[in-house]
Structure 1
Amino acid sequence: MPKSRKRIYCLLLLSFLLGIGLLIRFLPHEPLKQRFPYSVAVYDEQQNLLRLTTAKDQKYRLWTPLEQLSPQLVEAVLFQEDEWFYYHFGVNPYGLLRGATQTYLLGGTPQGGSTITMQLARILWDIDSRKISGKIEQILRAIQLELQYSKHDILEAYFNFAPYGRNVEGAGTASLIYFNKANKNLNLAEAMILAILPKNPNGYIQQNNNQLNPQLFNARNKLYQRWITEHPQDRQWQSHFTLNYPLRSLEKLPFFAPHFTDQVLQYYADSDAIQNGQIVTSLNSGLQRLVERISRRYLAQQKHYGVTNMAVLVVDNRTMQIKTLIGSGDYFNTQISGQINGTLAKRSYGSTLKPFIYGLAFDQGLAHPKTILKDLPTNFADYQPEIMKVISSGR
């Protein structure tokens, strides 16, 4: 084949590939944030967590903007997983070659050589990258991501969709669940725990996390030893890496002021006003605990009178904001229909109207404080009111 014809074919091929690339780049595509549903975190007025729900797919997943993540966590992940992230096109050929050599030629510990973008592609399209066909798809999808999204968007999505054990996804979600703090407030040791977790989330996280899994403890400390060769100033935090940080288990997540949080979640169920899955309420947790203790004591004292249930609502009369809400004596007691919110239940006003009726009667001169009212059966057309004791006293 003449050289001129080869050049033409090469130019046609390059033009075709360039056209495909431009088509992928500029065709409409949804924001990565919209790929999955999200949890909702409800907080009190002091930003204490009241409840964290699961998303519609039963995952704990909150969206945390990249700017609100710990800079040390972001740097540690790039340091460990993908040092060339900002320079490659989604695939690191050297990393792939090294991983293939280690896995298939030398028979060592399997290494995928995946970049951050490739890992995100595997998550988004649920790719089985252990197969050669899956690895090829993963590479192509990674290139697609690089063409369609910025490096910022890709890195942000990775940190929000990466697995962190059991049904926890996202670094922001993991820091809230495991450490009960915002991701940006993590110390270096905590950040490195989260940097390690996605490598083996189901192996590192156990149901009882009173102490770090020994494998996770050792992996975190190995990463730290590598880290201080590049960041010698962080030797000052060496004592933190001797500590065995407990991770809060999912079973110990707060379920506080249940009737109140139910009401809030129902109100915001179809609302677009929730920012990144967070709702900050007016509830005062300290006052809520105090009123709960008083309520339990009152029910215990009144039990022999047959009192088994009660509801309490405390409102700031200046702002009309709810500060305390107790919907029943026991949310989990089915015998008293404990999950029904008594502060919302419709019921007869009964004697609660009497002070207002008496007040109107006084204002209109129909009665005075010493007026004696007849306690006799009375009919109003077809209506005959009755009182609880049924028997009239005659006046």
Structure 2
Amino acid sequence: MGVAAVAAAYLYVKPDLPDVTTLKTVRLQTPLRIYSADGQLISQFGEKRRIPLQYEQIPQPLIDAVLATEDARFYEHGGVDPIGVLRAAVIVATTGKKSQGASTITMQVARNFFLSREKTYIRKIKEIFIAYHIEQLISKNEILELYLNRTFFGNRAYGIGAAAQVYYGKDISELNLAQYAMIAGLPQSPSAANPIRNPQRGKNRRNVVLGRMLELKLISEQEYQQAHDAPVTARYHGAEIDLYAPYISEMVRDQIVAQYGEEEAYTAGLSVYTSIDSRLQRYAQRALRNNLYDYDERHGYRGPRAQLWNEQAWPITQIQEYLNKQRREQDLVPAIVVDVQEQSAAVVIANGDEIQLQWDGLKWARGFVSDTRQGPAPKVASEIVTAGDLIWIRQKQDQWQLSQVPDATSAIVSLDPYNGAIKALVGGYSFNQSQYNRVTQAKRQLGSNIKPFIYAAGIEQDYTLASLINNAPINEWDRRQGVAWRPKNSPDVYGGPTRLRVGLARSINVMAVRALRHVGIDNAIDSLVRFGFERADMPRNESLALGSASATPLDVVNAYSVFANGGFLVEPYFIERIVNSEQQSVFEAKPKVACRDCERLIEEQRNQPAMAIAVTEPPQQDSLETALQPQDVQLTCPLPAERLAPRVMSEQHSFLLAQALKSTIWGGGNWSKGTGWNGTAWRAARTVKRRDIAGKTGTTNEARDTWFSGFNPKLVTTIWVGFDDHGRQLGRVAYNNNLDKNQSYGGEAGAKTAGPGWNEYMKNALDGTPEVNVQPPQNIISVRIDRETGLLTRATDHTSRFEYFIAGTEPTEYVSSAPDEQPLFEDSEDEELF
């Protein structure tokens, strides 16, 4: 009768039994993980946190703890434990309650993968037959591996790998016996026995597990007692992030979801390796924050976040309780002022420590009146803070100082100019405050950052770096509006005919307007579009020369890469490769690369059809080099033609613009002779201290947007500073008597608002790397010219310099005769050329 009953039950449920062979190819839901190029975890996305482990990776003490608690006869039964079933049946018969399920680990695997958790007899019958099928299909160790990787352990942790990380912030192999027992006790009641929510119940459950292990002689009495007396050390640990870079991780998440769909993206266990360099990313984040703090603090202190008491001070326990509820913002720490002396203040932070803010950390904080006005410099600390103030503090140069969350915001992006790989990207001060990614989403007016592209169009037409452009006022009558358009220089001075190199480096507005007139608006827009700017964002009027066009920082940095790489337009990218849960590569980026050697070889092959090109995958950029072989030897090109980035500017023209942009930083003339002059980015020369850097500042009307874009031959970077509110000006700063004379005061502008952030980042990013000397390309010559007129000269004193020209475009007239004959053309680079 028993056999008949079992047979009948099997026939009854057989149509509903699943195909257990799917367990052989089961794919556990694993979150999307995002890494930097050097393997540091940036972020992970997914409802279930899981770190799948193979059986061999699971520590034996944890296996013993789980089996002792869940299924002590696991290796003895065939999927169903008759003794356990009998025990459960007796309890049902005597009490009428289904308080003990008698489920083996195999049966739990059957339920977790194929059934619901409802307590019904029919589900239990199905569970039994599925368990028998599983035991026939896969080994005991494989069943245990599935169980330990699939089971829910609370706090979104699925599997023991995730449980170890969530509760202890460690790899599973690093835990001790008490911690293994705690984890082993969670599957039965992941909420009620959770050691984070209920430490005492968690400890009681842990000790039950330890008792079972002692009873089964899996641990000694001494091991039991030591683990039994151990304190509860579990606390919540988020994902083990190595590099916090939320803006780039959100870009990756968005692209992966668009490509794979949400379910696949969040559960398939994809690992995405980005192009981000963790070292550069940290430098970019720090530079952006420091630059915003400097801007914000020179505009004045906006006061405490809150006043918590007026007379009766809070006890330290209440202060700590309050501060522990406050969220930190970037590197700012919430604190409460507890005492104020003449030129110092004592504050308490969340751990109860008392910190002294000395006068050097307080004296900057004159009152904020408006974006263009600040109050008087304070003389005593009581003018700045009072006891009971809730404030922000931060560490600066090894001391604590009063601070505040900046009102302004910023964006910085840095990429490899030869393949477009984004090496660092920060889309704003705080992702918690705003997920708006200003690098890719904020189209802002460019100001003078556009001028190199206006002059590029002129150089491609007929200008040279020595061409004279009139630096004189413009009064253009507008018939339609009945007013005159009078673009002004900043500062509002004019010097008459001036060489193009000087006009670009000193960002002279009227010269840029005249250059645009010379080129023509349509031709200038066509040129800008070739550099990757959107035609729809280019106004068809002369304000284009002064930067009324709009673009994102990513558009700008990509356009400047053309000057850095010799004339190619690369395409920015941020995903290098994608690996699936089996560690198989499912995607590898194949960016188009700026490769002058490849271009030459391909052209050579076109001219000599008999010669073949052997196409190979590109090596690292630093090793991209080729050599022309005899005609009977096959040429080797490191890149196929379709992997070559399109050329949008000749190598010669790109070289000339890059040289001119060096003068923006290094200036020119002879200071000892009274002819020296600074470019607008002279601060970069003092900070970065390298001769292979070039760049351009940018400021819009009323300083609503400030920019600095620049490069060396290996790295190109753009930084923008402004307000999200387009109508708000960055304003002006009055001199602060409390600060040193090197502080920035006066109107905000690209050079002193955005530039310092670029300087700090590039100084750190390029530190330790050798300076790169770019050799002039073919057909470029250097000619001695007169600094005043741009004409040929034989003088060798401070009135002359060598200038670069494309052969055939150099001047043909001399400024005057000189008594000493000197060579006209010079191939040597001994003399400064920028």
2:542 to 385, 388, 391: 385
| 1: CA distance, partners of 2:226 / 2:278 | 36
Aligned to 2:133: 144
Aligned to 1:260: 248
Counterpart residue identity of residue 521, structure 2? F
| 2: CA distance, partners of 1:363 / 1:240 | 81
Is the CA contact (8 Å cut-off) linking 2:152 and 2:159 kept in structure 1?
A: yes
How many equivalent residue pairs? 364
Residue 187 of structure 2 aligns to a residue whose secondary structure is helix
**Cα distance, 1:259 vs. partner?**
0.8
Aligned to 1:223: 209
Aligned to 1:4: none
Q: Does 1:162 align with 2:151?
A: yes
**Residue-by-residue CA offset, 1:264-302 (whole Å, 9 max, x unaligned):** 333444469999444465656676556434423322433
Q: Please, which runs of 5 or more residues in structure 1 have no aligned partner? A: 1-9, 391-395
Aligned to 1:97: 86
Greater CA drift, 369-378 or 270-279: 270-279
Aligned to 1:297: 290
RMSD: 4.5
| 1: CA distance, partners of 2:205 / 2:101 | 18
Aligned to 2:427: 327
Counterpart residue identity of residue 290, structure 2? R
Q: Does 1:153 align with 2:145?
A: no
TM-score, normalised relative to structure 1: 0.72
**Cα distance, 1:91 vs. partner?**
0.6
Aligned to 1:340: 436
Is the CA contact (8 Å cut-off) linking 1:314 and 1:325 kept in structure 2?
A: yes
Counterpart residue identity of residue 199, structure 2? N
Larger relative contact order (Cα-Cα within 8 Å, sequence gap ≥ 6): 1
| 2: CA distance, partners of 1:83 / 1:238 | 23
Matches within 5 A, 1:23-102: 29-31=21-23, 34=26, 37-43=29-35, 49-55=41-47, 59-102=48-91
**Residue-by-residue CA offset, 1:205-245 (whole Å, 9 max, x unaligned):** 27x55xx6212112213322443532339829926851211
Structure ID, larger Rg: 2
2:232 to 237, 241, 244: 244
Greater CA drift, 97-106 or 169-178: 97-106
**Cα distance, 1:190 vs. partner?**
2.1
Structure-2 change in CA distance of 1:174 and 1:155 (3 Å)? same
Counterpart residue identity of residue 344, structure 1? T
**Residue-by-residue CA offset, 1:317-345 (whole Å, 9 max, x unaligned):** 89986554311122233xxxx32323334
**Cα distance, 1:81 vs. partner?**
1.7
**Cα distance, 1:33 vs. partner?**
5.9
| 1: CA distance, partners of 2:58 / 2:422 | 32
Structure-2 change in CA distance of 1:150 and 1:226 (3 Å)? closer
| 2: CA distance, partners of 1:213 / 1:247 | 10
Q: Does 1:184 align with 2:280?
A: no
Aligned to 2:200: 214
| 2: CA distance, partners of 1:281 / 1:234 | 49
Counterpart residue identity of residue 298, structure 1? N
**Cα distance, 1:117 vs. partner?**
0.8
| 2: CA distance, partners of 1:260 / 1:191 | 36
Is the CA contact (8 Å cut-off) linking 2:427 and 2:436 kept in structure 1?
A: yes
Structure-2 change in CA distance of 1:134 and 1:278 (3 Å)? same
| 2: CA distance, partners of 1:112 / 1:119 | 10
**Cα distance, 1:139 vs. partner?**
1.1
Counterpart residue identity of residue 207, structure 2? N
Structure-2 change in CA distance of 1:65 and 1:277 (3 Å)? farther
| 2: CA distance, partners of 1:62 / 1:286 | 26
**Cα distance, 1:166 vs. partner?**
4.5
Is the CA contact (8 Å cut-off) linking 2:65 and 2:210 kept in structure 1?
A: no
TM-score, normalised relative to structure 2: 0.37
Is the CA contact (8 Å cut-off) linking 1:165 and 1:204 kept in structure 2?
A: no
Structure-2 change in CA distance of 1:180 and 1:369 (3 Å)? farther
Structure-2 change in CA distance of 1:385 and 1:71 (3 Å)? farther
Residue 172 of structure 1 aligns to a residue whose secondary structure is helix
**Cα distance, 1:165 vs. partner?**
1.5
Residue 101 of structure 2 aligns to a residue whose secondary structure is coil
Structure-2 change in CA distance of 1:221 and 1:372 (3 Å)? same
Q: Please, which runs of 5 or more residues in structure 2 have no aligned partner? A: 300-370, 373-406, 472-509, 523-538, 549-699, 702-834
**Cα distance, 1:72 vs. partner?**
2.5
| 1: CA distance, partners of 2:435 / 2:251 | 11
**Residue-by-residue CA offset, 1:45-88 (whole Å, 9 max, x unaligned):** 78665433224xxx334433333333332232123222332332
| 1: CA distance, partners of 2:542 / 2:71 | 79
Is the CA contact (8 Å cut-off) linking 1:64 and 1:276 kept in structure 2?
A: no
Residue 230 of structure 1 aligns to a residue whose secondary structure is coil
Counterpart residue identity of residue 292, structure 1? Q
Structure-2 change in CA distance of 1:362 and 1:187 (3 Å)? farther
| 1: CA distance, partners of 2:422 / 2:150 | 35
| 1: CA distance, partners of 2:49 / 2:116 | 21
Residue 41 of structure 1 aligns to a residue whose secondary structure is strand
Counterpart residue identity of residue 412, structure 2? V
Is the CA contact (8 Å cut-off) linking 2:106 and 2:134 kept in structure 1?
A: yes
Counterpart residue identity of residue 330, structure 1? S
| 2: CA distance, partners of 1:46 / 1:231 | 42
| 2: CA distance, partners of 1:130 / 1:201 | 18
Counterpart residue identity of residue 380, structure 1? I
Counterpart residue identity of residue 39, structure 1? P
**Cα distance, 1:115 vs. partner?**
0.6
Structure-2 change in CA distance of 1:365 and 1:176 (3 Å)? same
Matches within 5 A, 1:114-133: 114-128=103-117, 130-133=119-122
**Cα distance, 1:168 vs. partner?**
3.0
Is the CA contact (8 Å cut-off) linking 2:31 and 2:269 kept in structure 1?
A: no
Residue 157 of structure 1 aligns to a residue whose secondary structure is helix
Aligned to 2:558: none
Counterpart residue identity of residue 88, structure 2? G
Aligned to 1:3: none
Is the CA contact (8 Å cut-off) linking 1:86 and 1:151 kept in structure 2?
A: yes
Residue 295 of structure 2 aligns to a residue whose secondary structure is helix
| 2: CA distance, partners of 1:29 / 1:341 | 46
Structure-2 change in CA distance of 1:185 and 1:118 (3 Å)? same
Structure-2 change in CA distance of 1:233 and 1:136 (3 Å)? same
Structure-2 change in CA distance of 1:357 and 1:67 (3 Å)? farther
Counterpart residue identity of residue 366, structure 1? Y
When you count strand as a share of all residues, which structure comes out higher?
2
**Cα distance, 1:358 vs. partner?**
5.2
**Residue-by-residue CA offset, 1:72-109 (whole Å, 9 max, x unaligned):** 32232123222332332211111211233245426799
| 2: CA distance, partners of 1:344 / 1:232 | 61
